[in-house]
Structure 1
Amino acid sequence: MSQYPIILIPGGIERAKSALPPVPIFTEPLPQQPGTKPQKVNNTLIAVETAVAIPTIPVVSQLTSIPGWLLLLAAAGAIAGHAWHQITTYPQRKQKHDGEVADYPRKLERYKQEEQEHQEKVKAASSPERVTEFRYKLLLEVLSQTVPHDGNSGVAKEGWAEAQFCNYLNRHFSGKIHKKLTLKIPGFDYPYSPDFAYIDQGLNLRIDIEIDEPYVYHTGKPTHYVESSRDSKRNNFFINKGWVVIRFSEEQIVRCPDSCCKTVAQVIAQVTENNSILNQFASFSELQPIKQWTEAEAVQMAAKRVRNNYPCQSQNKGLYENSLIETQQQISLALKPNSRAQNRGSARARHRALNLSISPPTNNTTLSSLVSCPYCGVKLKTTKLELHKTDKCPKRPLL
């Protein structure tokens, strides 16, 4: 079962982190030992040649009609010539052999020396320092290919929890946290926009930091559940661009924002193999994992309004409770008639315009026949999408 935080690292970065420097190949051949001492005349070879010639001569004579005595004379001459050649070349052969015997110890010593030098090169190439240096250079090469964002005018609105978490991110990663960035999706009119983007310009390291809620607050629609194809497509989009993806549950950032930031730092240290960034997080506890919910569990969580009851750190509790009170007051104010002339029907109309229903979505329409709002993600009939985007969407861009 998947757990939060969900950490996804591109394959190129993973391969760079586990790569090893190339090891030099030893190509020097082992010296051959000198052969046996040459003989002035190789009597064994002469005997073999004679033994082969005697039975062969009659057969050849019968096939060629050449007299046998003539063939015997030719064979004897050839054997005698071979023997004479051995006698005349013996001094040169003996001199060559003596030289090989004298050179063999020197060649063997040179071979052993080169073998030792090769082993030292292999050892140096495999040293921790060399491996770290090699991986870092390879990592820089991989990160240089990361595709940057192409816009900074994202329209997605952030909730209170995201706004508060942004303060923690900026405190711990000053100057490297960005919001409202966008990356165009080929073939689509609307881009992806990370909740938060960590960007190290020097390394070109880019991290998409996402906050996952179990349901849409105003509609109760399940979201970010296990095996959500929408989240999988989004994750793959960023990973294929070279971005690291970190997904926290909303409960984690509400309860333990510092520990979530520590997790981000741990991922950075893991990617860069530089643990110095972790020094400032030594006093913070490790982030406890939370099981990712299924779609059915998200429906139950929406019915219980669990997003209203996250246990917070003591320093965040007051702010969180005030935020919930403020949200509820805004809902009540939006639903309250401004004058006696406003009737119950107009109040319901304002209620629908704000999409404040907390009931889980009905299943009268199949998901395959619906389309998603590009701003808030709510699924609607195609005929109602434009009206929703212009009048009802709680996250529609302000014109």
Structure 2
Amino acid sequence: MSQYPIILIPGEIERAKSALPPVPIFTEPLPQKPGTKPQKVNNTLIAVGTAVAIPTIPVVSQLTSIPGWLLLLVAAGAIAGHAWHQITTYPQRKQKHDGEVADYPRKLERYEQEEQEHQEEVKAARSPERVTEFRYKLLLEVLSQTVPHDGNDSPATRNPEEAKFGNHLSRYFPRNIHTRLTLRIPEFRHPYTPDFAYIDQGLKLYIDIELDEPYVYHTGAPTHDLGAWKDNKRNNFFNNKGWVVVRFSEEQVICYPHSCCKTIAQVIAQIIGDTSTLNQFDNIPDLQQQRQWTEQEAVEMAANKKRDNYLCQNNISNSNPVILMTSLIKTKQQVSQSLPPNNITLTRAQSRGAARARHRALNLSISPPTNNTTLSSLVSCPYCSAKVKTTKLELHKTNKCPKRPLL
């Protein structure tokens, strides 16, 4: 089961981070020990030759019609000649053997010295400093192949909570956070747009930062669930271009934005091997993992209006606690009357209907903070340019816009 944050690092970067520098190959052969001391006459060899010749001569004589005495004379001559050769070459053979015996300790010492030098070269090549240097150079080579974005005028909109998280990102990573970037998709007219992009131009390090909500707010349609093929396709698209992908759940970003930023700093430190970016997060706790939801769980979350829960929690610090708590209690009582009992299993369509009913009840009973934005103002649809209310923009883009993207 996947856990948020989902961190996907391209394979080439992973291999660069675990690669080891090459080491020299030891090719010096082991010196051979000197043979046995040579004999003036090798009696054993003469005896063997005689033992072979005696039974062989009659057979050869019978097959070739050569007299046996002649064959015996030839064999005796050959044995005698070999013995004479041994006697005459003995001084040279003894001298050579004595030289090998005398040279062996020196050759062995030289071999052991070269072997020791080779081991030291291997140790130096695999020292932590050399390994770090090698991996960093290889990483730079890999990052230089990253395919950058090809546009910066995406029409994609973002909600106020995303904008808040963008402020946190810009605070911790000034000059490195970018929005509205686009990457063209082959054979498709609508590009991909990262929610946020961390870009280090010097290192060519690109990180796609995504915020995943469990369902579409206005329709209750599940999204970003476990095994969603669109997300998998998108992740592979960015990874294949050399981008790192970091996905947070919307709840993590809203409730723990500083810890989410720390996670990004940890990913950067893991990749480039520099922990200096983590110094500013000494007092920030690590981000707790959150299990990625299934499609059915997303339907249930929509029915229970899960997103409203953490959206309201995030705004407690900016609201009067007594008034807000009173409004939430009243809202909960009103909404609970419009929902079916908990022991009834809802179909997906029924769950969405219940979610819409709860949404309508919530809108009637409490209005969440609007960050000084006029809800009734009109905005233009980025696809068809139609004028719609700000609160209806997402619904229009999702269900009504005739030119909405199919992806």
User: Within 2, Cα distance between the matches of 1:194 and 1:241?
Assistant: 13
Aligned to 1:340: none
Is 1:388 the counterpart of 2:388 in the alignment? Answer: no
The change in CA–CA distance for 1:179 and 1:329 in structure 2 (over 3 A counts) is closer
The one-letter amino acid of 2:161's match is A
* 8 Å Cα contact 1:215-1:298 kept in structure 2: yes
* 8 Å Cα contact 1:255-1:313 kept in structure 2: no
Aligned to 1:8: 8
* Gap runs ≥5 in structure 1: 335-348, 358-372, 381-386
The one-letter amino acid of 2:368's match is L
User: Within 1, Cα distance between the matches of 2:319 and 2:98?
Assistant: 95
Counting aligned pairs with the same residue, the percent is: 70
User: Within 2, Cα distance between the matches of 1:98 and 1:185?
Assistant: 79
Q: 2:185 aligns to what SS in structure 1? A: coil
Superposition deviation, residue 355 in structure 1: 6.3
Superposition deviation, residue 327 in structure 1: 8.7
Runs ≥4 residues deviating over 6 A:
none
Aligned to 1:200: 200
Aligned to 1:50: 50
The change in CA–CA distance for 1:265 and 1:317 in structure 2 (over 3 A counts) is farther
Tell me which moved more, 195-204 or 215-224: 215-224
Aligned to 1:223: 223
The one-letter amino acid of 1:354's match is K
Aligned to 2:370: 326
Aligned to 1:343: none
Q: Which aligned pairs between 1:1-399 and structure 2 lie closer than 5 A?
A: 1-310=1-310, 311-312=313-314, 324-326=368-370, 354=392, 378=398, 388-390=401-403
Q: 1:190 aligns to what SS in structure 2? A: strand
Superposition deviation, residue 306 in structure 1: 2.4
The change in CA–CA distance for 1:259 and 1:332 in structure 2 (over 3 A counts) is same
Tell me which moved more, 306-315 or 166-175: 306-315
User: Within 2, Cα distance between the matches of 1:287 and 1:76?
Assistant: 97
* Gap runs ≥5 in structure 2: 325-365, 379-386
Count of matched residue positions in the alignment of Structure 1 and Structure 2 = 352
User: Within 2, Cα distance between the matches of 1:111 and 1:161?
Assistant: 70
CA offsets 1:154-194 (integer angstroms, 9 cap, x no match): 11111111111111111111111111111111121111111
The one-letter amino acid of 2:20's match is L
CA offsets 1:64-117 (integer angstroms, 9 cap, x no match): 111111111111111111111111111111111111011011001101101111
CA offsets 1:327-347 (integer angstroms, 9 cap, x no match): 99966678xxxxxxxxxxxxx
The change in CA–CA distance for 1:135 and 1:102 in structure 2 (over 3 A counts) is same
The change in CA–CA distance for 1:6 and 1:258 in structure 2 (over 3 A counts) is same
User: Within 2, Cα distance between the matches of 1:316 and 1:274?
Assistant: 37
* 8 Å Cα contact 1:254-1:313 kept in structure 2: no
- TM-score, normalised relative to structure 2: 0.80
User: Within 1, Cα distance between the matches of 2:265 and 2:199?
Assistant: 13
* 8 Å Cα contact 2:5-2:290 kept in structure 1: yes
Aligned to 1:368: none
Q: 1:25 aligns to what SS in structure 2? A: coil
The change in CA–CA distance for 1:164 and 1:100 in structure 2 (over 3 A counts) is same
User: Within 2, Cα distance between the matches of 1:110 and 1:302?
Assistant: 78
CA offsets 1:142-165 (integer angstroms, 9 cap, x no match): 111111111112111111111111
CA offsets 1:351-386 (integer angstroms, 9 cap, x no match): 9x93677xxxxxxxxxxxxxxx9xx5x4x6xxxxxx
User: Within 1, Cα distance between the matches of 2:108 and 2:222?
Assistant: 76
User: Within 2, Cα distance between the matches of 1:323 and 1:139?
Assistant: 50
- TM-score, normalised relative to structure 1: 0.82
The change in CA–CA distance for 1:315 and 1:105 in structure 2 (over 3 A counts) is farther
User: Within 2, Cα distance between the matches of 1:10 and 1:291?
Assistant: 22
* 8 Å Cα contact 1:41-1:86 kept in structure 2: yes
Superposition deviation, residue 313 in structure 1: 7.8
Superposition deviation, residue 24 in structure 1: 2.1
User: Within 2, Cα distance between the matches of 1:47 and 1:257?
Assistant: 96
User: Within 2, Cα distance between the matches of 1:278 and 1:354?
Assistant: 41
Tell me which moved more, 49-58 or 137-146: 137-146
CA offsets 1:23-80 (integer angstroms, 9 cap, x no match): 2222211111111111111111111111111111111111111111111111111111
User: Within 2, Cα distance between the matches of 1:329 and 1:260?
Assistant: 26
